[in-house]
Structure 1
Amino acid sequence: MTTLREDTETAVEAEAEAPAEAEDVTAQQQSEAPAAVEKRRIAWTRVLAVGVLPALALLLAGAAGYFRWVAGSADDLARARSESVRVAGEDTVALLSYKADSVEKDLGAARERLTGEFKDAYAELTRQVVVPGAKEKHISSVAKVNAAASVSATANHAVVVLFVDQTVTIGDGAPTDTQPVVRVTLDKVNGRWLVSRFDPV
């Protein structure tokens, strides 16, 4: 059996040891805290270096590629518009211009600028109506394009509106002037713009 004195001494010793143990635990926690912070910094640095920076570089490269593609597409579209307007003007002049003594040759050359069903319809019209009329009545026609505008254009299809001056002479008679407005549809076939429709507006 222990006496009151022994119990008191044991309690005092325990209390004296407790703060020392608490100080040891606190000191150990404090020494572990910088190590944990250090580990956390290393982990975020790795994430930044290995994950975020390459992802950002990939995103920037993708954006640069996209904007280059958009700029290239815009250039291609502008080129298609410009080419189709030029070709539509040249083709309109060829389709509407001929001389009485060379009508077959003139309209035959114009036919090579056409495609699809319109090519067949034009060949039929010129063979049955225009060529016989030009030869019989000595009809000549001269056309020139005053203005042209692109309505729509893609890499392989375009629509152009043209304002034309056409002068028709029948035999020795006075020339007759008309100003037709035509809507020309073109399709790109084997790298060449060809007329697929020719509609008066």
Structure 2
Amino acid sequence: MALKYKHSPIKWRAVFAESAFIGASILLAFGLQDWDEAKDIEERTLIALCNVKSELAFNRVLLKSDFMPRQEGMLRLSYAAVSQLQAQPDTNLEEAHFEKMLLRESLRYSAWTLAGESGYLVYANFQLATEIGALIDYQQDRYQVMVDRINTAIMDLKLSTVESSLDYYLSLSAMIEEWIAQTQYLEGKYDALFEREDFIDLTCED
């Protein structure tokens, strides 16, 4: 005689509850993973921006404490040379003073370059990143070109590849005046950046 087995009824409520629990666990796991990734990106983006901020702070101090006083000294020397040569064309000028005016330190932008290469600038404040980028572009593409021209002109004088003449010092004076104008513009850009609330709010460890 064949045995008859009684099948227990499927407890659909329990099945649905278990399925829902498993689904919720999976979603929670993905959510936590996404949160961790977002947190990691946020932290790395802040680190990149803080490195940029530190470098810009260095540049700002260098402009005010080194470049600008150096420019004033160079311009005074150049004006004095022009006056002497206009009064006495055969005057032998002391050129060693100009050598002391050569720039030894350059404005930096390596942190900005590294931040761009890392890809984290994509997650940064767009307006702030755009403002910093415009400043760096001007500093690198225009300002540094003028600095190189000034240094080259002084080195040419030192190496006697150019004649120490009235025309030379008039040209040098004009270059220094243009450099001063660019420095004042760049200083204004730095001051405006450091007054931005979103730039000030970058909480960076010293």
TM above 0.5, yes or no, is no
Larger relative helix fraction: 2
TM-score by length of 2: 0.40
Which TM-score applies when normalising by structure 1?
Answer: 0.41
Give the strand-richer structure, 1 or 2: 1
